[in-house]
Structure 1
């Protein structure tokens, strides 16, 4: 049996982090978690590019541009869509997820989904460094591991 796994170390990688300004109280915490995690896993500050998008809906187009540029090993997308009194959040969430996945599949560049989809601000804050962890940390770890598993597959000719 042959098994491929990615490790959690970075080297000469270049990561882009796209963060939504909407719900900034939450997204700045996600960003802090993502940047801290990248640093702790070996990524130097000059290898991290932060790009701010107006909201979560704009994350896919910005991520696509970054992934297509050929400059980045991975793109990490951070945002927070919080349910309001209408179903608006459902349309945003589905389109953002689909757009980010499409970018990853079309470019071959890992695009990590660190977008919170919560029913309340309290839930979002819990997932942005509170009692439920930090989705920015999780998305960054997923990006690092995906980059490395893709390298392992390529090294094996797969």
Structure 2
């Protein structure tokens, strides 16, 4: 496995632009709150550390990962001043196909919202086989997917602003 020994949140190989001129929404799923809370803390800290002003960050909860799509749609329909939306969630494989349906719906839904509004809608959703893998990617040995989502949001907002 290529990620077995790698911290996925290492950005030393890339330049991250300043986020000082951008406004972001963060939508976080309440389901698997231990994990999504860690993702949120990582995303918020990363945005602030990269120049995004606290008053330019809107944070909103939704019940679960499936609701991230609706949350992003509602937020962008009401707040056209946002430069992007970071969606954070965690879906852990269970014994049924529920996992597959939710992961596919969220990935497709967030993609469609981004296309509809021509704004970055960032997929910061962990799709893991078990809780340990989720913990490893929410501030554990593989970094924090929340950090990665925030960096992606800044880079994509900068991309859009400079096209």
Q: TM-score, normalised by structure 2?
A: 0.88
Q: Does 1:144 align with 2:143?
A: no
**2:87 maps to 1:77:** yes
Determine the C-alpha separation between the residues in 2 that align with 1:150 and 1:17: 18
Shift, 1:6, TM fit: 8.1
Distance in 2 between residues matched to 1:56 and 1:71, nearest whole Å: 24
Distance 2:21 2:155 in 1: 15
Once residues 51 and 146 of structure 1 are traced to their aligned partners in structure 2, the CA distance between those partners, rounded to angstroms, is 21
Query: In the alignment, which residue of structure 2 is the partner of 1:114?
Result: 124
Matches within 5 A, 1:53-92: 53-69=62-78, 70-92=80-102
Q: In angstroms, what is the RMSD of aligned CA positions?
A: 1.3
Distance apart, 1:130 and its partner CA: 0.2
User: In the alignment, what sits opposite 2:30?
Assistant: 21
Aligned partners of 2:122 and 2:151: how far apart in 1?
A: 9
SS of corresponding position for 2:76: helix
Query: Which runs of no fewer than 5 residues in structure 1 stay unpaired?
Result: 154-158
1:44 matched to which residue of 2?
53
Gaps of 5+ in 2: 1-13
CA distance in 2 between counterparts of 1:35 and 1:68 reads: 22
Of 131, 144, 149, the residue aligned with 2:141 is 131
1:149 and 1:55 mapped to 2: Cα distance? 29
The partner residue of 1:103 within 74, 95, 113 is: 113
Count matched residues.
Answer: 149
TM-score, with length taken from structure 1: 0.91
Judge conservation of contact 2:18–2:51 (CA < 8 Å) in 1: yes
**Distance of 1:98 and 1:43 partners within structure 2:** 28
Aligned residues of 2:87 and 2:123 also touching (Cα < 8 A): yes
For the residues of structure 1 that align with 2:140 and 2:16, how far apart are their CA atoms? 26
Deviation of 1:8 (Å): 2.3
Provide runs of 4+ in structure 1 moved above 3 Å: none
